[in-house]
Amino acid sequence: MAVRSGPVAGAQRTYLVSSVDHALTLLARLRDHPSLAVRESAEILGVAPSTAHRLLTTMQASGFVVQDPVTRRYGAGPALLHVALASLQRIDVGRVARPHLSALAVETRETVSLAVGEGTVVRYIDSVEGSEVVRVSARTGVVVPAHSTAAGKVFLAGLGRDELLRLYPSAKLQRRTPRTLATRAKLLKELEQVRRDGYATSYGESSMGLGAVAVGISDVRGRVIAALAVSVPLERLDERRAAQIAVPIQRRARRVEAELGAG
């Protein structure tokens, strides 16, 4: 699939939501300018100053811009900075973790993946297949419900109860297999076990025949930013082997944290 960069062509603009398009245009302009006045913003967008002011006020309420009380100009806000830092962080953890994925795949002979959390799902952003004849295929690009995977449980275990209740307002959870955790109560109980053990497991919960063990990678503030997971055919994974596999995963996760400056 081709990726287009730069301004959107005229015919395509018909399908854009104008307010969103205008907001993104101003955010992109802040990349090269430290601040923008209302009148400058209006000229950039080709709208009335009152329209530009309403747009900037809305963006300010969401934290994407802040206004200098003296100059009345608008600059990048904390929400925008958080998005940028999260993107850089994801790039950094992927780069740093890559050799550790390869080393862990050699050590365990199983498929190793790096996953990131996205609310109630996890996305596998890198993967190295193991050397076993019967093995789990590379997971790169796969997106699955967080509560059904070891990697996802690692992220969820790092959240407070209020955040978990916000993410899972319903007492019942989506089931992918007969083994998937079916209720929020069961999930909360398992997350307590993850916190005690320092690693998470899944046994045929996201896909029949697939098991996994995962450990979190934290940043300098102790927030889980990625998960290192070893995927194993379920026939080769029980609680004893899961505990054994967790040891080298934890060791590699701590090394990644150290290289990221969080150790």
Q: What is the pLDDT of residues 167-223, one digit of tens each?
A: 999 999 999 999 999 999 999 999 999 999 999 999 999 999 999 999 999 988 888
Boundary-marking domain end, from 76, 93, 120: 76
Q: Identify whether residues 115 and 46 lie together within a single domain.
A: no
140 lies in which domain range?
84-260
Q: Which of 231, 236, 251 shows the shortest CA–CA distance to 111?
A: 231
Q: If we measure between CA atoms, which residue out of 128, 119, 125 comes closest to residue 147?
A: 119
Q: Which of 1-5, 163-167, 243-247, 251-255 has the lowest mean pLDDT?
A: 1-5
| C-alpha torsion angle, residues 167, 172, 176, 181 (rounded to 10) | 90
Q: Are residues 28 and 63 in the same domain?
A: yes
Number of domain units in the chain: 2
DSSP strands (E only) in the chain: 65-67, 74-76, 111-118, 121-128, 143-145, 200-203, 210-218, 224-233
Q: What are phi and psi of 134, to 5 degrees?
A: -100, 110
Do 70 and 142 sit in the same domain of this protein? Answer: no
Residue 182 is predicted with a pLDDT of 95
What's the pLDDT tens digit per position in 18-54?
778 888 888 888 877 788 999 999 999 999 999 999 9
Judge if 138 and 72 occupy the same domain: no
Strand extents, DSSP E, 119-191: 121-128, 143-145
When computed from its CA atoms, the radius of gyration of the chain, rounded to whole angstroms, is: 22
The SS3 of residue 202 is strand
Task: Tell me, yes or no, whether 129 lies in a domain.
Answer: yes
Q: Whole-model pTM? A: 0.68
Of the three residues 59, 76, 93, the one that is the final residue of a domain is: 76
- Asked whether residue 188 is assigned to any structural domain, the reply reads yes
User: Which of the four pLDDT bands, split at 50, 70 and 90, describes residue 11?
Assistant: very low
Mean pLDDT (whole number) for 79-90:
60
CATH number at residue 43: 1.10.10.10
Residue that terminates a domain, selected from 56, 76, 96: 76
Strand partners, 132: none
Residues 145 and 224 in one domain: yes
- Confidence tier at 70 by pLDDT (50, 70, 90): confident
Q: Which amino acid is at 188?
A: L
151 with 175, same domain: the answer is yes
8 lies in some domain = no
Q: Which of 5-19, 80-94, 116-130 has the lowest mean pLDDT?
A: 5-19
Partnered with residue 213 across adjacent β-strands are 201, 230
